[in-house]
Amino acid sequence: MGDPRGFLKLGRAKAPARAPGERVRDFHEFEPGLSEQALTDQAARCMDCGIPFCHRGCPLGNLIPEWNDQVYRGRMDLAMEAMEATNNFPEVTGRVCPAPCESSCVLALDGAPVTIKEVERAIAAKMLESPLPARKAPRRRGPRAAVIGSGPAGLACAQQLARRGYDVTVFEKDDRAGGLLRYGIPDFKLEKGLLDRRVDQLQREGVDLRTGVNVGVDVTGHDLRSRFDAIVLAVGAARARPLALPGAELPGVEYAMTFLTHANRRVAGDAVEGGIEAKGKHVVVLGGGDTGSDCVGTSLREGAASVTSLELLPAPPGERRPDNPWPEWPLVLRTSSSHEEGGVREFGIRTTRVLGEGRVRAIEVEDAAGQRRELPCELLLLAMGFTGVEPMPIVSQLGLTLGPRGTVVTTDGVTSVPGVFAAGDATRGASLVVWAIAEGRQVAERVDAYLSNLTAEMYEFA
């Protein structure tokens, strides 16, 4: 597998990115990928470990050593087959996944893991050079499945069920499919043409995709139970944590996901009447996670007068601590591509008040030493995390229970209501896209087992 001495002869290398000063002028992706020779070299670094610890970091169980060997040997056709066996959307994970597999790579012990994410993206790019094939399974008579939500969990689940021959209908409240992938992730990280190609593939494989349908209102739980044999709730966990401070009700204090949705719609060419925009404003982002980072990059591209990112917690260490050993996810300071592009980033800062008359004009903050100061702020973006599933009537209509974290209570995706399942962030809470895909696939297995038993019972009593 690979070059037995590749990891000794070759160093870790990442694809060059467009310069920050250039890329903030548009919303296009800025990492072109590795050259063919560089890709072969990076794949050659894989050690083919007896126990591939990279699998520990990947919830999809991607066949990572196999990919690397096939890329190293120039067998991209086999690499694509191996990738498609475990992942419905490798062109997505190759862009937006933080690559926990790399943190679990044995070479991460020396600080230079295999560039698994780069290789994954390159294999996916090869797949996209040709029209994506539609794998149509013979249709089974009878069982029908409804999937509510067209984010990564819902689409992965729907595709797996369609490939097993079931009639699958996906309901999406927005005007386009994709959920978080469509409206939550900026185009400079994931251009939406990639998503459109996958949606087209799903439809050619027989998935009935219905957008603009607010399930629970336009279609009730009773309607679904009468028309479908299985229902999968994949509605995400987008209920944002509010800011409980004086002045938080002022215009100009906005939730991050609303801001990102408006920006993504503008990039898509939609008219956004009264939409939130950063142009010419002093922007402050509360929250230093991925959502906050995306707000920073988007604000810079929209022409903000200034961008300040504030994190309540102190800065993480620069290196692994002894109580955070390999192959655990390293809790270290990370600088995102957006933070590289500009703005100010501060840690250990608590917001104490929102100031303004008729509209936010500043915020009062306090540092770890108790020193207070005012920051100019004309747009305050709240990216402080999420607290579970958004309020929606379909939850009660289906008789589902929400747990203390505000997510649907399940046992491995199976709810207490027969024939009703849940997947992705709706059960896990806000998490990684790769987890959503994995859980969508896993729930498809459970739906398949349920429908298979249901069909057997129908024939038994016929």
135 in a structural domain: no
**pLDDT for 461 beyond 70:** no
β-pair type (282-286, 208-211): unpaired
Residue 314 shares a structural domain with residue 396: no
Domain count, the chain: 3
Q: Are residues 287 and 354 in the same domain?
A: yes
pLDDT exceeds cutoff 60 at 398 = yes
Residue 243 in any domain: the answer is no
Q: What is the pTM of this model?
A: 0.95
Q: Are residues 214 and 119 in the same domain?
A: no
Q: Tell me the average pLDDT across 401-412.
A: 96
- Tell me the pLDDT band of 5, cut-offs 50, 70 and 90: confident
* pLDDT for position 446: 98
Do 217 and 112 share a structural domain?
Answer: no
Residue 404 and residue 431 in one domain: yes
Please provide the average confidence, as pLDDT, over all residues in the chain: 94
* Number of neighbours of residue 401 by Cβ within 10 angstroms: 12
User: Is residue 247 one of the residues assigned to a domain?
Assistant: no
Measure Cα distances from 136 to 38, 76, 150 in Å: 36, 23, 20
**Is residue 30 a part of any domain in this protein?**
yes
Residue 313 is given by DSSP the state S
| The pLDDT value given to residue 142 | 76
* Co-location of 12 and 86 in the same domain: yes
Tens digits of per-residue pLDDT, 376-396? 999 999 999 999 999 999 999
Q: CATH number of the domain that 320 lies in?
A: 3.50.50.60
The predicted model gives 430-449 an average pLDDT of 97
Judge whether residue 29 has pLDDT over 50: yes
Give domain status of residue 132, yes or no. no
Using the CB atoms, write b or e for 214-244: b if 16+ within 10 Å.
ebbeebebeebbeebbbbbbbbbbbbbeebe
100 and 54 in one domain? yes
Could you tell me if 428 and 351 lie in one domain?
A: no
133 part of a folded domain: no
pLDDT at 80 over 70: yes
Domain boundary among 331, 362, 382: 382
Assigned domain for 137 exists: no
DSSP classification of residue 53: T
Least confident residue range of 57-66, 192-201, 369-378, 447-456: 447-456
Q: Are 47 and 209 in contact (CB under 8 A)?
A: no
Q: Are residues 371 and 257 in the same domain?
A: yes
Omega before 327 cis (within 30°)?
yes
Percentage above 70 pLDDT, the chain:
98
Q: 98 and 45 share a domain?
A: yes
The 10s digit of each residue's pLDDT in 208-235 is: 999 999 999 999 999 999 999 999 999 9
437 within a domain of the structure (yes/no): yes
For 305-363, write each residue's pLDDT tens digit. Answer: 999 999 999 999 999 999 999 999 999 999 999 999 999 999 999 999 999 999 999 99
Residues 326 and 277 reside in one and the same domain: yes
Q: How does residue 92 score in pLDDT terms, banded at 50, 70 and 90? A: very high
Out of 83, 101, 127, pick the residue that ends a domain: 127
- Last residue within a domain, chosen from 101, 127, 153: 127
User: What is the per-residue pLDDT for 50?
Assistant: 83
CATH code for the domain in which residue 114 is found: 1.10.1060.10
**Segment 271-287, tens digit of pLDDT:** 999 999 999 999 999 99
Query: Phi and psi (nearest 5°) for 268?
Result: -75, -5
Confidence (pLDDT) at 281: 98
Give the separation between CA 206 and CA 12, rounded to whole angstroms.
42
Structure tokens at 117: 């994410």
Range of the domain at 349: 253-382
Label residue 246 by pLDDT band (50, 70, 90). very high
